[in-house]
Every structure is written in C-alpha cells, then in structure tokens.
C-alpha cells in the first residue's frame, strides 16, 4: 500500500458512519489510503470544496448546487450511500402541533399548507414536491436556510410540514409539539438520498485512487449494515459500533445520551456503494422541470457510471 494522503469531507451525521468506520477499522489503510477528514457544517460548501480541490471525496445529497457544479465540469457522482429501503425506518414527514390539531393526519391533508425547506433545490424541496405531486395537492415552500430555523418555525407553528431523517424526527416528535405523519419512502421508494462524489479530475484521471477509496468505503458500509441493520453481531456489536461512531458524532454529548440518537439514525447505506440510477435520473429530471438547473444537463454529466454497481 502506498499510503497516499487524501482528504474526505464529512458532516458529523450518522449517515456518514461508513467513512468513519472505514477509517477507524483501517479499511482505508488497507486500500493504501491515508485518509484525513475535513468536517463541514453544511453539505453545500462540501460540494464546492470538492470543486476547488480542497477535498477529494465526500458524501452528500443531490442538490441543485451539486448539479450546477457538475455542469461546470467540476464534480462527478461516483457511487451511492444513503437510500430508502422498505422495512427500514427512513425519512419522516413531520407536521406542527397546530397543523395536527387542525386535522392534518397524513401527507394528503397538507393541501395549501406551508412546507419548510432549507433552499429551493434542496433535497427537502425535492421530497416535498414529489409527495405533493403524488398526492395531487399544492404546497407552498418556505425557504428557511438553516435546520435550526426550520425547527423553530415548526415548533411555533409558523410552518406546517417538513421532512427529515429519523434520528432528528423522532426526538422532535417526543416533545408533543411536532408530529410524524408519514414516511418519505412511501412516495419515493428506493430513493437514493446521498451519493458519493468527487472531482471530475479524480474521476477521470485518478481511477486507481478512486477505486481504492470506494473499496475502503464499501467495507465501512458493509460493517455498518451488518452490525446496525441486520444486527449480525447482536447488541454487543451495536454497542461497539456506537462507541466508534460516537467519536465523530454527537461528541459534545455524553455516550449514554448520544447512543439513542445514533441508533435511531440508522438507515440503509447502499451495499457496495451501489447507485440507484433511476432515482438519480428522477431527481435530475425534477430539478430540470423546476427550472433550477440548465435543461441541457444529461445524466452522464452528473454521474460516472464506471465505478460501482448501477441499479436501475
């Protein structure tokens, strides 16, 4: 192994666990990589940091910004990460207590309601929009930029609905001021939520390096899935994994308070970083139809299909 130094961008979310595991358990090292993490507060700067060459690989949701950067020839999606899978707790639709009291019990009751998103062109926007289309209802989308602002607005009943990953959704619903009314997976089965991506240069000219990264990353995914989802190693295995993840996520909270959030946050990471191309295509089409990205962009501008198993 050549011990090549690379930088990997990450958010301190459980959905990035595969990278943490791969690093902690030495899978990256086995693939000849000396990985250093670069942590971000939000996904969007991470995409730009790939484009600027500050980091080499990262995992994030497909967003308008990512597609724009791909269109400028700066980034490429090379694999999949988080995805919705039947039978596993996925992202939730939430409503405020006010809306709940007004009789909103399922997503179809949201006609004419205010739906929070961080930005137009964010994954929240996509989920809400797709759900609205499926239910044939109208939503007005309220951009609030920050997750904190959305939670505040939802708690005080100023927006009616939102969608979010389960480990944030569940604790929120416990207070009684926010209610869970549905699953995103019901509307977007096999939704490829996050993807692995890199700069176009890495994808094209550093094939070996990229393959090595994906190898290490996949091993992390496998460990995560077998321990946390399939529970192959029982509770002891889960505990050990929680310990590992806690080194990166919820570090400012004590282990016992962090553990439930980490466990709640468990979602399916695509096996072997395989990519659900159908879902990606669906997302890309939606972005185009909303006028958020240029119509001329093709799936090949966005995705390099040569690295991982493509599901379609």
Partner 1 sequence: MYDIKNKSNNSNNLNVNKPVPFIGKGFQPKTRSWMGYFVFFIIIFVLELGTSTGVISSLTLPKPSDVLETIIQLFQSGLLFKHLVPSILRLVIGALIGISLGISIGTLIGLFSYFRSGLVPVIAAIFPIPKIALLPLFVIWFGIGEGSKYALIALGSFTPTVVATYGAVDNVDRTLIRMGQSFGLSWISIVYKIVLPGAMPGILSGLRISLAISIILLVAAEMLGAEYGIGAYILEAGSLYDLERLFAGVTILSLLGITVSVFVTKLEQKILKWR
Report the residue number, 185 or 303, with the smaller CB distance to partner 1: 303
- Among 113, 152, 147, smallest CA distance to 131 is for 113
Report the residue number, 70 or 221, with the smaller CB distance to partner 1: 70
Report the residue number, 38 or 243, with the smaller CB distance to partner 1: 38
Report the residue number, 38 or 186, with the smaller CB distance to partner 1: 38
- Among 262, 299, 296, 293, smallest CA distance to 278 is for 299
Shortest CB 200 distance to partner 1, Å: 11
From the list 6, 22, 35, 47, which residue makes contact with partner 1 (rule: CB under 8 A)?
Answer: 47
Shortest CB 158 distance to partner 1, Å: 5
From the list 31, 35, 81, 153, which residue makes contact with partner 1 (rule: CB under 8 A)?
Answer: 153
Binding mask 194-233 for partner 1 (x = CB under 8 A): ----------------------------------------
Shortest CB 52 distance to partner 1, Å: 5
Report the residue number, 158 or 226, with the smaller CB distance to partner 1: 158
From the list 33, 144, 244, 275, which residue makes contact with partner 1 (rule: CB under 8 A)?
Answer: 144
From the list 121, 128, 220, 265, which residue makes contact with partner 1 (rule: CB under 8 A)?
Answer: 121
What is the four-CA torsion angle of 48, 51, 55, 57, rounded to 10 degrees?
100
Report the residue number, 149 or 180, with the smaller CB distance to partner 1: 149
Spatial distance between the Cα atoms of 202 and 210, rounded to a whole number of angstroms: 7
Q: Cβ atoms within 10 A of the Cβ of 133, count?
A: 12
Q: Cβ atoms within 10 A of the Cβ of 91, count?
A: 24
Binding mask 7-46 for partner 1 (x = CB under 8 A): -------------------------------xxxxx-xxx
Spatial distance between the Cα atoms of 264 and 261, rounded to a whole number of angstroms: 5
Binding to partner 1 by residue 297, rule CB under 8 A? no
- Among 237, 280, 240, 225, smallest CA distance to 87 is for 225
Spatial distance between the Cα atoms of 312 and 297, rounded to a whole number of angstroms: 19
Binding to partner 1 by residue 247, rule CB under 8 A? no
Spatial distance between the Cα atoms of 217 and 228, rounded to a whole number of angstroms: 16
- Among 285, 297, 308, 293, smallest CA distance to 83 is for 308
Piece of the chain touching partner 1 by CB under 8 A; list 78-86, 153-161, 210-218, 278-286 = 153-161
Report the residue number, 50 or 225, with the smaller CB distance to partner 1: 50
Tokens matching residue 146 = 């920050």
Contact 22/196 with Cβ under 8 angstroms?
Answer: no
Spatial distance between the Cα atoms of 189 and 66, rounded to a whole number of angstroms: 22
Binding mask 50-79 for partner 1 (x = CB under 8 A): -xx-xx-------xxx--xx--x-x-----
Report the residue number, 108 or 155, with the smaller CB distance to partner 1: 155
Binding to partner 1 by residue 138, rule CB under 8 A? no
- Among 87, 27, 68, smallest CA distance to 214 is for 27
Q: What are the Cα distances from residue 110, in Å, to 66, 115, 137, 138, 161?
A: 29, 9, 7, 8, 8
Q: What are the Cα distances from residue 113, in Å, to 32, 202, 248, 261, 300?
A: 52, 44, 37, 29, 36
Binding region for partner 1 (CB under 8 A): 38-42, 44-49, 51-52, 54-55, 63-65, 68-69, 72, 74, 118-122, 142-149, 151-153, 155-156, 158-159, 252, 292-293
């Amino acid at each position: 192994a050549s011990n090549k130094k690379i930088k990997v961008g990450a958010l301190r979310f459980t959905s990035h666990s595969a990278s943490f595991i791969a690093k902690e358990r030495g899978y990256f090292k086995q693939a000849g990589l000396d990985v250093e993490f670069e942590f971000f507060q939000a996904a969007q700067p991470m995409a730009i940091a790939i484009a600027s060459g500050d980091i080499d690989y990262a995992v994030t949701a497909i967003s308008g910004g990512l597609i724009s950067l791909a269109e400028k020839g700066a980034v490429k999606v090379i694999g999949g990460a988080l995805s919705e899978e039947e039978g596993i707790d996925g992202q939730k639709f939430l409503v405020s207590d006010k809306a709940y009291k007004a009789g909103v019990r399922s997503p179809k009751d949201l006609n004419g309601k205010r739906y929070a998103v961080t930005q137009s062109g964010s994954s929240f926007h996509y989920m809400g929009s797709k759900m609205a289309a499926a239910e044939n209802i109208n939503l007005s989308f309220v951009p609030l930029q920050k997750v904190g602002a959305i939670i505040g607005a939802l708690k005080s009943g100023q927006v009616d609905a939102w969608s979010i990953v389960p480990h944030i959704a569940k604790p929120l619903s416990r207070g009684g001021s926010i209610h869970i009314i549905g699953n995103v997976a019901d509307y977007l089965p096999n939704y490829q939520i996050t993807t692995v991506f890199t700069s176009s240069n890495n994808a094209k000219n550093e094939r070996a390096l990229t393959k090595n990264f994906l190898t290490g990353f996949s091993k992390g995914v496998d460990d995560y899935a077998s321990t946390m989802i399939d529970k192959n190693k029982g509770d002891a295995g889960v505990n050990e994994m929680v310990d590992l993840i806690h080194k990166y996520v919820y570090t400012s909270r004590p282990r016992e308070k962090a553990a439930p959030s980490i466990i709640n946050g468990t979602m399916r990471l695509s096996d072997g970083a395989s990519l659900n191309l159908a879902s990606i295509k669906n997302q890309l089409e939606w972005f185009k139809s909303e006028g958020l990205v240029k119509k001329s962009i093709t799936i090949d501008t966005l995705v390099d299909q040569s690295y991982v198993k493509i599901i379609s």
